[in-house]
Chains A and B, each alone.
Chain A
């Protein structure tokens, strides 16, 4: 059942993050950065696509998927555009998420007041 797998995988990734956050002096900024790099590394090892196959949204909704998509973009970029593809292909797959995050954050920042 992919729903149960998603729950287990997503929960497990967040659990690891929380354990690091509580037991070290690292901040959330450190942890999200580490997980992104780790995602790229797991993708390099060929593990991340398998995690997505097994756990679906449990893997794709995590920040580590950002690293995974960057790696996939660079790797597939090379195969479609050779050496230039590393640069031109790297951001293709994360483009949707980054663009929309910027658009939404900007619009909401303009129309809403900060709460303190």
Chain B
């Protein structure tokens, strides 16, 4: 068997990532989370008389709690690898990245493990979010007053 033949064979047996399927799953999962989230937010507005903005903050906290809890129980890694961006882009992804990195490094101790690596994955969101928010808000004040 020569090189080219071998390459062909490898290509044939490598499992293909089905991009179309991934995209549909991401759409349905992300949409489903938003749909359920909206139900919860509207429920809180009606039942507890919350303002709209307040209900979204509570919703965010609830989402973070559920995602962190499921991550700690060990279910969530599996879900994330199946649903891709459907779970990564919502706040669930943020909570998942924090909890999973915290779980991974806790064996290294409270300071050198948890303290040093707590924000390993979520750190980039915080860093670039804060930078962008800072400079855009200055730009916003300059332009809009």
User: Residues of A at under 8 Å CB distance from B?
Assistant: 2-3, 6-15, 17-19, 21-23, 28-29, 31-33, 35-37, 39-41, 43-44, 52, 55-58, 60-67, 69-71, 73-75, 77-78, 86-87, 90-91, 94, 96-98, 100-102, 104-106, 108-115
Beta-carbon contact of A2 and B42 below 8 Å: yes
User: Residues of B at under 8 Å CB distance from A?
Assistant: 17, 19, 22-23, 25-35, 37-42, 56-57, 59-61, 63-65, 68-69, 71-74, 77, 84-86, 88-91, 93-95, 97-99, 102-104, 106-107, 114, 118, 121-122, 124-130, 132-134, 136-141
Given known pairs A11-B34, A96-B57, the reply for A105 and B136 (CB within 8 Å) is: no
Q: List 9 A-B contacts (CB under 8 A).
A: A6-B31, A11-B26, A17-B88, A56-B56, A66-B125, A94-B129, A101-B95, A108-B68, A115-B74
Partner of A40, one of B40, B88, B94, B136: B136
Partner of A101, one of B30, B41, B94, B127: B94
Shortest CB distance A7–B (Å) = 4
Shortest CB distance A52–B (Å) = 8
Partner of B103, one of A44, A87, A101, A112: A112
Beta-carbon contact of B132 and A36 below 8 Å: yes
- Tally inter-chain residue pairs, CB-CB below 8 A: 262
Beta-carbon contact of A23 and B19 below 8 Å: yes
Beta-carbon contact of B86 and A36 below 8 Å: no
Beta-carbon contact of B89 and A106 below 8 Å: no
Beta-carbon contact of B27 and A104 below 8 Å: no
Residue of B26, B38, B95, B114 with most partner-chain A CB within 10 A: B38
A53 to B138, CA, bound (A): 24
Given contact pairs A21-B88, A94-B129, A100-B61, a sample of 17 additional A-B residue pairs in the complex whose CB atoms are under 8 Å apart: A7-B34, A10-B37, A10-B90, A14-B31, A14-B90, A22-B17, A33-B128, A57-B56, A60-B37, A61-B37, A62-B89, A71-B140, A74-B134, A97-B57, A104-B95, A105-B68, A109-B99
Please, which residue of chain A has its CB at the minimum distance from the CB of B30? A14
